[in-house]
Structure 1
Amino acid sequence: MFPLSHAVAFAVAALIIIVIPGPNVLFAIGRALTLGRRSAVLSVAGTVAGSFVPLVAVSFGLGAVLLASSLLFLIVKVAGAAYLIYLGIATIRQRKKLVEALRSKVPSGSGVRVFRQGFIVGATNPKTIVFFGAVLPQFAVPTQGALPVQLLILGAIFLAIQALSDGSWALLAATARSWFVRSPRRLETVGSTGGLMIIGVGAGMVLTGAD
């Protein structure tokens, strides 16, 4: 197995990349502001689970094919961005329902649907794909055991850091939401803001491909 120093170095590199808010983080924050703490946590769980897709692809060689084909990479990036923009528009259109849900005390959003949406966002996040494809292999040691196993272990470290960081951002946003829910007008503003954030993330993915 690879030396412990490699794992530590990789963890530091991953932390630097993850703590900078990007599509996964901003999506979770948008969900926290729009739907609350429960949906924020489910969104983070979904994006982390979705990040496992490019990790497995890279670990078993598919990631190299994706990175080598600019067309395939573009398709994945545009598909993810379009999905985010769609979710953002839907969030803005349904902002009045937030007030109704709050008054009726009925939780907003299906847990399965929220998790699934987060999964798609995580699986199509360009930055995660690039990081796993270009950076992850640099920390493996081919002479120290099966390469796919090493990549999966390193990737698990990345996902653990991602869960902690993204979860912290989402919970902070959910806490701030409590101030807005005291007023129906504020809550509608929150819905619009959350939707615009999600749309902005989608547009940013197309323009920059950054997380």
Structure 2
Amino acid sequence: MSEAFLHNPALPAFLLASLVLAATPGPGVIYILARTLEQGRRAGLSSVAGVASGNLVNAIGAAIGLAALLTLSSLAFAVIQYAGALYLFYLGVKTLATAPPSTPGDAFGKAALAAIFRDGFMVAVLNPKTALFFAAFLPQFIHPAAPAMLQSMLFGVLFVLIALVTDSIYVLTASAASPALSRLHKAPRFARYLSAAVLIGLAVLAATSASSRSR
């Protein structure tokens, strides 16, 4: 199966399309950048790992038919999307209520980084549009000579790995620019407000999208 997958004539096209899509800034990238600018490189990379894990769950879910269920059931889609919007809103309010750390962002302990990972995972896994994206995108590259479900899983894992790399590049770039930004007056407070605004804005966007779909 692995040999057939590697010799799939559509694989180069998949890699190119995945790279373009993963590198294009979207809500996930905005969330990761906000975390990085507010809390530092390690927090940003923890968010990347959490988002990638959530996306992997959605990719596997799409492969086994979860996306088909969400497509058929507008109620299931709306419930999951509203849950994601509420979680994003909670994170935004939590960010506003939390004072900026007195130590550098890269000095986070394991417990704090685990919580940041969890937040990134929840943000990604509670976005049903990701599962629908995989369900629409991955079949374009499935070879009829091999099992479709296994191919779909392999393509999904590959896409998540590509996105993991591009998101990490965004984090490292933002982290490199962060020292210059931190020299500005009131920069830590501004970063906290910016992060909260991004999270709440994403929550409103997700809720509005769910509302328009349910009509």
Structure 1 residue 43 and structure 2 residue 50: aligned? no
**Superposition pairs of residues 1-211 of structure 1, within 5 angstroms:** 1-2=4-5, 3-94=7-98, 96-98=99-101, 100-102=102-104, 106-107=107-108, 110-141=112-143, 143-182=144-183, 185-208=186-209
Kindly report structure 1 stretches of 4+ aligned residues shifted beyond 6 Å.
none
Question: 2:125 & 2:94 partners in 1: Cα distance?
Answer: 20
Report deviation, 1:132. 0.7
- Could you tell me how far 1:164 is from its partner in structure 2? 1.2
CA shift for structure 1 position 16: 2.9
Distance (Å, rounded) in 1 between the aligned partners of 2:177 and 2:90? 25
Contact 2:62 2:132 in 1 (8 A): no
Give the deviation of 1:206 after TM superposition.
2.6
| Structure 1: stretches of 5+ with no match in the other structure | none
Percent sequence identity over aligned pairs: 31
Confirm or deny: 8 A CA contact 1:22 1:201 kept in the other structure.
no
Give, in whole Å, the separation in 2 of the partners of 1:17 and 1:67. Answer: 22
Corresponding residue SS for 2:186? helix
- Structure 1 residues 12 and 207: alpha-carbon distance in aligned structure 2, compared to 1, 3 A threshold: farther
SS in 1 for 2:100: helix
Q: Is the 8 A contact 1:43 1:117 kept in 2?
A: yes
Measured after TM superposition, the shift of residue 124 of structure 1 is: 2.0
SS of alignment partner, residue 10 of structure 2: helix
Q: Residue 184 of structure 1: CA displacement?
A: 6.6
Letter of the structure 2 residue corresponding to residue 145 of structure 1 = A
Q: Secondary structure at the match of 1:144?
A: coil
Q: Which sits farther off after the overlay, 122-131 or 163-172?
A: 122-131
Please give the TM-score of this superposition, normalised by the length of structure 2.
0.86
TM-score (normalised: structure 1) = 0.87
Give CA-to-partner distance per residue, 1:38-93, whole Å, 9 cap, x none: 00001001100111111111111222111221111111111112111211121122
Is 1:26–1:197's contact at 8 Å kept on the other side of the alignment?
yes
Distance 1:115 1:180 in 2: 24
Contact preservation (8 Å) 2:61, 2:131: no
Task: Tell which deviates more after alignment, 32-41 or 56-65.
Answer: 56-65
Go from structure 1 to structure 2 and tell me whether the alpha carbon gap of 1:40 and 1:193 turns closer, same or farther (over 3 Å shift). Answer: same
Structure 2 unmatched runs, 5+: 211-215
